[in-house]
Structure 1
Amino acid sequence: MTDSVVVELIAGEGERRCLADKSLCLEMAPVEEGTDIAGSLILTSPTTGDVTTTPSLPYGPGNGEGLRLWPYLIAVPKGAEAESDGRSEYLVGVISEERSMYSGGGGSGGRLHLLRLNQSPDRLSLGDEVLDVVWDSSLMIRACFSEQDGKDRLGACHDEYRFKGSLTAAANDGGEFPSLTYRSVATAFPQTSRRSEDNSGQKLKKSDLADWKDTECSYQRVLRYNPATSRYEMDRPAPDCSDYTTP
């Protein structure tokens, strides 16, 4: 996922993730477990010593949610004015995660939020959200309720559903923000399992004990920034993949 637009952050001191030249580091501010206090980002510029803690983010961690830093930045092309005064702009990603537990199983589902981040020689500031997209999930649903069920399912006593998104640079269209390609992969295990169907009473074969790729929910879209809405938009609607993404 590394290119000149989608820039991978490297490990820094403690929980920090940094640009390769260490001109900018980011980390999630610690939140005491069990509180409903919203999370925030700590932005550090080691080269100048500046440290900025952003205002509370509008995501989690209450109601069973969590927050984590996306370990990449989207580099926004510099205009002539920014080049001359040393300013940089990025899109920083925060993943909000919803978790649910239920009898014999549970799961989590994450959404990626991209927010504007401005860096100047004397200031770091976080701006508005420009993208909110389903990002990843992992679900396990109990499927064995007796010893016979375990035998019939060859020991595979949970139906498992996974979803994973990724972002790469798309062809440059000269917009204010770079165009991006969003890809997803959705799988079910065993191959016969479908969350919207009753999977009980199945007798599995050894060949069923593998992932099944859902071709409808494994898709690709181009994301382009729309100045009229101040947000990224897909080139066409995404399918309903809530069977994979909703815990």
Structure 2
Amino acid sequence: MLLPLLIAAAQPAAAPDPVVIALVAGEGERKCLPDKSLCLDVPGDASDGGLVLTAPQTGKADDLALPYSRDGHQTLNLWPHLIALPSPEGAAADRRQYLMGIVIGTTAMYSGGGGNGSRLHLLRLDTTPSNTRLGDEVLDIVWDSSLMIRACFSEQDMKDRREACHDDYNFTGTLSAGPAEAGELPALTYRAVATAFPRTSRRSQDNSGQRLKAADLVHEKDPECSYERTLRYNPATSRYEMDRPAPECSDYTTP
């Protein structure tokens, strides 16, 4: 469950700032740059989670190992965007650098309900016509979730809750790239939105037997777990870090 990101316009040749590029559909399950110069795929039948990169215009292909794997409860999917990075000073004209993402999802089932959640992992990707290299992970952040908890256990519960017999909790994250700053990688803006349905529901409480009003049957934003943070790359840790800690929102993010 991925919502659209705030996507900047395609980067002009002379523009110094990073941009988030929406990948377009390619052959099969591939996702490609708009000009089809580079395509990416994480084949669903690969248990080791390999990343396949192809250059349709030249026929070149690379199969790169990812530092993640699939199992019975974990899925790997390509984040359908690339963050194009400004070229380092003195870099070859045909060298391109990106941040690419892998969305790792987990699923849990329980009596009368279930849920899924995912985290976004960003890694460096460095390409030239003759060589492609996948670098280190620089970000691991909660991305999205959808949880459904049973809340009716009798006919009276159904009546009291106006037949809204499940509590729903949803969380979605988005990323946008800010202007290039002094440093190795650009600042990113992370926005999170968490909602509960009905609006009176709290996962940490027993919500069965509530007498709901018609006005309660809406998805209401949680003001504490709907937040914005600036992420900056810290060369000392080789990772992105938030400008201040995120709130504790496991009621929304943990299946």
Q: Give the CA deviation at 1:150.
A: 1.1
SS in 1 for 2:252: helix
Could you report, residue by residue, the CA deviation over 1:79-113 in whole angstroms, capped at 9, with x for unpaired residues? 2322x341111010000001000001000010000
Distance 2:69 2:161 in 1: 38
Distance 2:54 2:201 in 1: 46
Letter in 2 for 1:41: L
Could you report, residue by residue, the CA deviation over 1:32-86 in whole angstroms, capped at 9, with x for unpaired residues? 6xxxx3312111111221111111x33342140111111100111112322x341
Distance 1:111 1:27 in 2: 18
SS in 2 for 1:80: coil
**8 Å contact from structure 1 (residues 38, 62) kept in 2:** no
Could you report, residue by residue, the CA deviation over 1:124-147 in whole angstroms, capped at 9, with x for unpaired residues? 221110000000000000011112
Corresponding residue for residue 120 of structure 1: 128
Corresponding residue for residue 148 of structure 1: 156
Corresponding residue for residue 2 of structure 1: 7
Corresponding residue for residue 37 of structure 2: 23
Corresponding residue for residue 85 of structure 2: 76
Corresponding residue for residue 13 of structure 1: 27
Distance 2:153 2:68 in 1: 37
Distance 2:58 2:233 in 1: 32
Query: What is the alpha-carbon root mean square deviation over aligned residues?
Result: 1.2
Give the TM-score normalised by the residue count of structure 2: 0.91
Corresponding residue for residue 235 of structure 1: 243
Give the TM-score normalised by the residue count of structure 1: 0.94
Q: Does 1:130 align with 2:119?
A: no
SS in 2 for 1:191: coil
| % identical equivalent positions | 62
**8 Å contact from structure 2 (residues 153, 208) kept in 1:** no
Distance 1:195 1:162 in 2: 11
Q: Give the CA deviation at 1:222.
A: 0.5
Distance 2:62 2:135 in 1: 13
Q: Give the CA deviation at 1:174.
A: 2.3
2:190 aligned to which of 182, 185, 189: 182
Match runs of 1:101-112 below 5 Å: 101-112=109-120
Letter in 2 for 1:129: E
SS in 1 for 2:90: helix
Corresponding residue for residue 219 of structure 1: 227
Q: Give the CA deviation at 1:14.
A: 1.1
2:50 aligned to which of 40, 43, 47: 40
Distance 2:152 2:242 in 1: 40
What runs of 5+ residues in structure 1 fail to find an aligned partner?
A: none
Distance 1:38 1:245 in 2: 25
